[in-house]
Amino acid sequence: MNSEIIETKINRTKQRIQLRDKRHLGFAEYGPRDGYPIVYCPGSQSSRLEMHYDLSFTITHQLRIIAVDRPGHGMSDFNPKGSILEFARDIKELMGFLKIDRFSVAAMSAGAPFAFGIVYKIPEKINQMAIVSGFAPLTKHNKKALSRKIKLMLGVSKSFPKFFALLLRFQAKQIAKNPEKVLQSFLKMMNDSDKKILENPAVIKVLQNMFTEAYRNGSKGVAYEISKILVKDWGFDYSKTQVPISFWQGEKDNNVPYEWAEFMANQIERSSLKTYPNHGHLLIFDHAEEIFSSLKDPVSLN
């Protein structure tokens, strides 16, 4: 393999490899290097810096979480041929470079389609998967459960991609200039339980860093992912997976409706659904230890 670590090995949140097609793929590692490997797919407009502020649970449960920048986000180069399955190929190459044979997968929000893509592409390497506040296929049926703001945003991205790209280009400039102000506009869509979580300055810092890093090289990657991937057909049948999948969903999620988790769980034979009546989109900050530790399969470590 021609891949090589480009960035310093000292800072584990700033690593990247060069893929066979010469693109760079950025990633961060959290927890002990000899811990149980979990590939983490961040949400939309996010990056490898999307991770809990308190990582003590990775030590307690011996977890090695590998968060990856998708193409055009953070330290990963843009892929003009990008798709869900193309990203799965990137992950396969990354795991080969890291010499990781089997692992689990976790995803937050719009990272869900990409997690499903990994499981679809290389099921023989996956032990299990967790989807938190997960994005579902944008079918006519599923659109009905969306809030008006999210439905409008996705509709504009699909029907007017060039206009949407201009909006994100403006947003990228605003984030570079005043990330705190832009973050506040995102927070207005959150429900009361999410706002309570956001009272923690450490959570705000995580969100600010992950959003800012997502737009590190502009908005092209973010715009492409939303308007060319997330609102389109995924390109494979996610419901046929035989890998055990757990869904974790807040019933008061204003960003991703809990009906989506129910819909996907009902489509997949080997799945479970855990709902939280009083939680919203950011339930991962309250339940990170429970979610990530559930992915550790003792059998795979023998």
Q: Is the pLDDT of residue 166 over 80?
A: yes
Going by pLDDT thresholds of 50, 70 and 90, the confidence category of residue 123 is very high
2: in domain? no
| Total of domains in the chain | 1
Calculate mean pLDDT across residues 88-108: 98
Query: Residue ranges of the alpha helices (H) in 15-160?
Result: 56-60, 84-97, 112-121, 140-143, 148-159
> What is this structure's pTM?
0.93
- 244-271 CB burial, b ≥16 within 10 A, e <16: bbbbbbbbbbbbbbbbbbbbbbeebeeb
| Amino acid occupying residue 53 | Y
293: in domain? yes
Given this model, what pLDDT does residue 32 score?
A: 97
Q: CATH code at 227?
A: 3.40.50.1820
Calculate mean pLDDT across residues 94-99: 98
6: in domain? no
Q: Is the pLDDT of residue 15 over 80?
A: yes
Given this model, what pLDDT does residue 189 score?
A: 73
Given this model, what pLDDT does residue 143 score?
A: 92
205: in domain? yes
CA distances from 213 to 52, 95, 165, 209 (A): 16, 23, 18, 6
Q: Evaluate whether 118 touches 94 at the Cβ level (below 8 Å).
A: no
Boundaries of domain holding 233: 15-301
272: in domain? yes
274: in domain? yes
| 202-241 residue pLDDT tens | 999 999 999 999 999 999 999 999 999 999 999 999 999 8
74: in domain? yes
9: in domain? no
